[in-house]
Amino acid sequence: MKADFKKYQGAGNDFVIIDNRNGIFNPDNSTLINKLCDRRFGIGADGLILIGNSREYDYEMKYFNSDGFEGTMCGNGGRCSADFAIRTGIAGKKHIFKAIDGLHRAAYEDGIINLSMNDVKDPKLVNGSYFINTGSPHYVLFREKVSDIDVETEGRKFRWAEEFAPGGTNVNFVELEKDGLFVRTFERGVEEETLSCGTGVTASAIAAVLSGHFDTGTIKVRTKGGNLAVTLSVSGKNIHDIWLAGPATFVFDGTVEA
C-alpha cells in the first residue's frame, strides 16, 4: 500500500489526512493508524482522517484517534478536512460533508474555516457540571488558574467515571476570562491533553452560556494551541446554529508506504 498524505494542524490539534476516495487505505488497520500517529516512530498526530466518497455530499470524513480506532466527531479535524478538500479541489470554498455524527457545512473566509456543528438538544448536569455531547461527549469543569492544573492526572479521574459509562468522556477544564474562555482538554482516544479540541471548545462555550457567564452570540476561546471562536443560539433546552471557527494550517506532505 502506498498513499499520499498531508499533515495538518488546527490550533495545535494535529492530523494526518489521506484522500482515500480510491479505497487504497484499509480503515480497519488500527495497528498502522496507531503507528502513523506515533510521534517517535511515525508521522506524529492526535489522529488520522480518511477522506472518502459520498454519493450525496462533497465527501465523507472518517476520523481515527491516535489509538488506531475510529472516534466520534472531531471539530478541529473537520475544519482541517475542509481546508484539505478545498486545497485539493475535492470541494469548493463552501461545501457540505458527512461525518460520523451527520452532516456539516464548511466555509472558508480570510484564512478561517467556519464549521457548522450539530444541534445539542439535551445537555445534562452531572454533579453540578455540564455533560454535553457536541458530536463527542464532554464533561465541562469551570476552574480558576487552569494553567496550573495537571490536566492528565485530573482528567483521568473523570475519563472513565461510572456516570459516563460505557464509553467514558472527554474532560474540559475551563477558566473564565474577561473577553472569553481559556480551555484545556483531556481527550479520550488520545488519552492525554491535546493542545486544543474543537468539540471540547464548543461544549465549553455552550456550558458557559447555559451557566449564565456569557450571552449567546460569538464566544472567543483561547487554547494552548491557538484561538478559536464559537457562535451559538439557545431556545429552551435546544442549542442550535452552532459554528466553530478558527485556522486550519497545512504543515507538510509525504507518502505512506506499508
> pLDDT tens, 20-61?
999 999 999 999 999 999 999 999 999 999 999 999 999 999
**What is the average per-residue pLDDT within 106-119?**
97
Residue 237's pLDDT band, with cuts at 50, 70 and 90, is confident
Q: The domain 124-246 is classified under which CATH number: 3.30.450.90, 3.40.50.720, 3.10.310.10, 1.10.3720.10?
A: 3.10.310.10
Question: Which sign, positive or negative, has the C-alpha torsion 35, 39, 45, 46?
Answer: positive
Query: pLDDT digits over 171-224, tens only?
Result: 999 999 999 999 999 999 999 999 999 999 999 999 999 999 999 899 999 999
Query: pLDDT digits over 116-133, tens only?
Result: 999 999 899 999 999 999
Average pLDDT over the chain, rounded to whole?
97
Return the pLDDT at 236.
Answer: 84
Q: Do 253 and 88 contact (CB within 8 A), yes or no?
A: no
Percent with pLDDT over 90 in the chain: 97
**Catalytic status, residue 37:** no
Return the pLDDT at 62.
Answer: 98
Residue 156, classified by CB atoms within 10 Å of its CB into exposed (0-12), middle (13-18) or buried (19+), is middle
Residue 216, classified by CB atoms within 10 Å of its CB into exposed (0-12), middle (13-18) or buried (19+), is middle
Q: The domain 2-112+247-257 is classified under which CATH number: 3.10.20.440, 3.10.310.10, 3.30.420.40, 3.20.20.70?
A: 3.10.310.10
Q: Do 151 and 173 contact (CB within 8 A), yes or no?
A: yes
74, 82, 205, 232: which is the annotated catalytic residue? 74
Given this chain, do its domains 2-112+247-257 and 124-246 carry the same CATH topology?
Answer: yes
**What is the average per-residue pLDDT within 52-80?**
98
Domain ranges in the chain?
A: 2-112+247-257, 124-246
Return the pLDDT at 107.
Answer: 98
**What is the average per-residue pLDDT within 136-143?**
98
**Catalytic status, residue 197:** yes
Return the pLDDT at 171.
Answer: 98
11, 141, 151, 197: which is the annotated catalytic residue? 197
Residue 258's pLDDT band, with cuts at 50, 70 and 90, is confident
Question: Which helix (H) or strand (E) covers residue 32, if one does?
Answer: helix 30-37
Please name the residues in contact with 108: beta carbons below 8 A apart, sequence gap of 6 or more: 82, 83, 86, 93, 94, 114
